[in-house]
Amino acid sequence: MTPKTNNIIYWVSTIIFAALMIFSAVGGIQPSQGAIQLMHDGLGYPVYFIQFISVAKLLGSIVILMPGVNRSVKEWAYAGLFFDLTGAVYSGIASSGTFDPLILTMLMWILPGVVSYYCWHKKIKGLKVSPVIS
């Protein structure tokens, strides 16, 4: 993969991942009745947690979109977003008591994050281009 291709894949996947996370956070900043029903009534989380996790997702999304951010800060942002998604999958399974195949749709949210993270590491380390033998 050339540096240009890696850069394009990085930005596309990062924008998609951040957009998904921002989309999931917007409803929790000022929790709607639907968000409260899902998170508090359905999963058992306290209402104040909805706003906390929503702000954390917004901040994490902003950090992964910003070029030039300190590497360790960006690592923590990616980690936090992945913890959020992993926790969402686990909470869904644990609260229902059974595995619902629809929970696999969370892979659609996780996949662009994994691609973004992988390409970001390729980008910051520089691509090791093997010599072409002709």
Distance CA 124, CA 131 (A): 20
Write b or e for each residue in 45-79: b if 16 or more Cβ atoms lie within 10 A of its Cβ, otherwise e: beeeebeebbebbbebbebbbeeeeeeeebeebbe
CA distances from 15 to 2, 9, 52 (A): 20, 10, 22
pTM summary value:
0.84
**How large is the greatest C-alpha to C-alpha distance in the chain, in angstroms?**
65
CA distances from 88 to 79, 93, 117 (A): 14, 9, 19
Domain ranges of the chain: 3-125
Task: Per-residue pLDDT tens, the chain, 134 aa: give them.
Answer: 898 999 999 999 999 999 999 998 988 888 888 888 888 887 888 988 989 999 999 999 999 999 989 999 999 999 999 999 998 888 888 887 777 787 778 778 899 999 999 999 999 887 554 445 54
